[in-house]
Structure 1
């Protein structure tokens, strides 16, 4: 046999920092360089007595018995060291992949901040920590979230002078706050602020490790992890935590922009709705409104009318986003004008509104319900255009009002439907709502109506005198997770009127 010498050499003195910064392919190139084989070492098909080995053997030749494959050689020395390092890199990449996947599944800013703290504590080996979100542009939102720290603990930390805390140095751009800040033994530090020393002893932490949260050149905040004993993360832990925090900062920047957009949409929608409900003798009013994450066109209104009357209205504009919100504002303002002029005839009010919508916004449709109320007589005259029927809740009955079936506004060349009269008894509450309340349940329409009826029928007698409490009970019963956590993107409007 030929003795073929190995042409592979392994360099084992590479610094650990270089190992962490190179990829697996780069490691192979450095540790095991590939060279052209020598001529004498190039494989050749063997020949015996001038016979080419590629000629197939005769058919009568017995096939060679299968041999048991030899066990792979156990790496020793430099080969074992390289294999261990590669296994460590694969393990680190797997850990980072799992943690970033969990972070990417968070859809809200508070959830993402809590996940950042949990993952970071596992990477640096700390038990507690806090993250301070304070964008440098000053547009907010500013918040502080703790891991293993209660509100009182966070309050104690906030009493420490900001310049003495690592997150304060990072957020304020003080010297030493450009990157990571490690304090392996707080109580042994010279010049530590006395208040910081007192709070650390009270909360029982002896070391900290802080990292800035920045997306590009935009500073978002800082994360700090606290150790119960004097300690600091190893070089490998710092490297992994730095990679994870850089990814987390980009994810937080996206959620921050989404949060700001939602806040703007909510503010704009709330400004287009009544700032307060009117006080009219003989009736008590309460309203509940939730704007969907994309901003919708659901609205409500209550306005005093001549002769001690009251106009109640709810409606919904198709679409979502700023366009739908603006259309909702125009529609509500127009309905108020028509209600003042001819509110005693709800059919005329909706007919005028439909004509305006068809002439000014022919590509848009809307549903609406307008009720002309005479509180002294407890009499209601209402008309609806493709809208959900009101629900009457009282001691003796809980039933939907029988309204005529009609198309939404803007769907027909000319809209008109007969009105319906209703007489409420003393103590009864009439609920007006939009279909977003039904859609948020995630059930089919018929089952959602049944849930609404059951929720209204189950209102405790002790709170039936308060229309706000009635509305809250209905929302809690229909949406156990809360209006903001329930499925669906539609707005929610619930207007309650209790007649005395």
Structure 2
């Protein structure tokens, strides 16, 4: 080529344009950066998943979140968790991810001693290490029944992790990847084996060491969270059982009036109560009330006030103002740090007459064929709030076939609406009671609950119209009491 100014074709290309050699090792800094980036990514993922788990407030919600998060960590699509506390105090449950109810039934037909998770649950021989079954189709040590169920449901491998709270939980969760042997540090509450969780792969597979490590850390945290929720659930159950025992187990049968009650205990145990007591000359006292606070203290205070109110009702029940005045004095002397609302009614079914007085309580409702209206009562402060409580009583005359509804403020507060809207919703619910069920006070109460609190209604033990007292459970923060009296 001819020589051109500024270009010498005989000069070789610069060395830095040559292709790099594949045999040269990467710089140490790049390997460290890659490894640190992987650790940061894993820790970020683990933090997000544990944050989501910490926001769950119920056992079922936590178990479902555990299944979903664990499946993402180990790369599985389906799974199930068997929650069976080793102390056998319950509750015990089995939940599935991507498995129908019939699928869970098939899995339960596999003998526990040979199942993917059975070795983690058997008493005396329970293992604390994860159990991997990488090939359920062709493995030589797979039980025939387990292989048959795996073929039927279409999963080829499984990976099971124990759920252990308290000392030694880390050994079970780590899976031999360096996280074992670390105690969780819990010094009280529920500890020991809680159950096992197993994830199912569609094809023969096994989680790699990094996945084992992450799911081990997550399972350890989940076990402690489940232990706390279990302890809270048991405490709620005990408080609800005590509250139920303090309330009437059976409402009296009074000529001329039929009674029904519904009671829902809040998650923390509240002090809402109701009562119906037959009195001389065919009369009956009806009462509902609420003690401030929650927990065992409020339940105990509720029991004392209800028992005292019964005594005052027997002595001077025909004067509701005197009954509530005596109750206010008792509350001031025995429970100076508490307040209470109460509504007491003296009913004479033969005369169709009710005399009632209220202390900071919501007005009753009258429901009938021709009307659904609130009873006009005088405004008054709750018991224990002022230096001296007193308010005039009112008389009402329910007609034949009409139902009087007494309820606590929890029914209004659970709606989450302002009080004026809550009262409007309650009035609308009472006005919409079908004519076909108005003869049944229990059905009237159920309709009102379903309408005011849609999605919360569930019938508990003893919720029977006419004679029973409801003991349903709900997730609302407030106790709810509804006492219905239908006058014939």
Same fold per superposition (TM over 0.5): yes
Where relative contact order (Cα < 8 A, 6+ residues apart) is larger, the structure is 2
Aligned-partner SS, 1:210: strand
2:138 pairs with 1:188: yes
Conserved in 1, the CA contact under 8 Å of 2:267 and 2:475? no
Conserved in 1, the CA contact under 8 Å of 2:267 and 2:474? no
Aligned-partner SS, 1:220: strand
2:147 pairs with 1:197: yes
Partner of 1:293: 267
Structure 2 CA distance for aligned equivalents of residues 476 and 299 of structure 1: 20
Structure 2 CA distance for aligned equivalents of residues 122 and 366 of structure 1: 50
Deviation at 1:185, TM superposition (A): 1.4
Structure 2 CA distance for aligned equivalents of residues 405 and 323 of structure 1: 28
Deviation at 1:135, TM superposition (A): 1.4
Superposition map of 1:98-177 within 5 A: 98-173=48-123, 177=127
2:480 pairs with 1:492: yes
Segment drifting more, 115-124 vs 222-231: 222-231
Deviation at 1:413, TM superposition (A): 4.1
Residue in structure 1 matching 2:157, options 204, 207, 230: 207
Conserved in 1, the CA contact under 8 Å of 2:64 and 2:97? yes
Superposition map of 1:317-332 within 5 A: 317-332=291-306
2:35 pairs with 1:85: yes
Deviation at 1:320, TM superposition (A): 1.7
Structure 2 CA distance for aligned equivalents of residues 412 and 248 of structure 1: 49
Structure 2 CA distance for aligned equivalents of residues 362 and 132 of structure 1: 47
Change (3 A) 1:95 1:412: closer
2:210 pairs with 1:236: yes
Superposition map of 1:15-30 within 5 A: none
Deviation at 1:445, TM superposition (A): 1.8
Conserved in 2, the CA contact under 8 Å of 1:440 and 1:486? no
Structure 2 CA distance for aligned equivalents of residues 294 and 174 of structure 1: 36
Deviation at 1:375, TM superposition (A): 2.3
Conserved in 2, the CA contact under 8 Å of 1:479 and 1:486? no
Alignment RMSD, CA only?
2.2
Gaps of 5+ in 1: 1-74
TM-score by length of 1: 0.80
Deviation at 1:319, TM superposition (A): 1.8
Gaps of 5+ in 2: 1-23, 168-191, 458-472
Give 1 or 2 for the bigger CA radius of gyration.
1
2:449 pairs with 1:475: yes
- 1:344-384 C-alpha deviation (Å, 9 max, x unpaired): 22222222222322333333321111112222333212111
Deviation at 1:193, TM superposition (A): 3.6
Residue in structure 1 matching 2:254, options 280, 283, 289: 280
Segment drifting more, 205-214 vs 194-203: 194-203
Structure 2 CA distance for aligned equivalents of residues 94 and 416 of structure 1: 61
Partner of 1:95: 45
- 1:29-65 C-alpha deviation (Å, 9 max, x unpaired): xxxxxxxxxxxxxxxxxxxxxxxxxxxxxxxxxxxxx
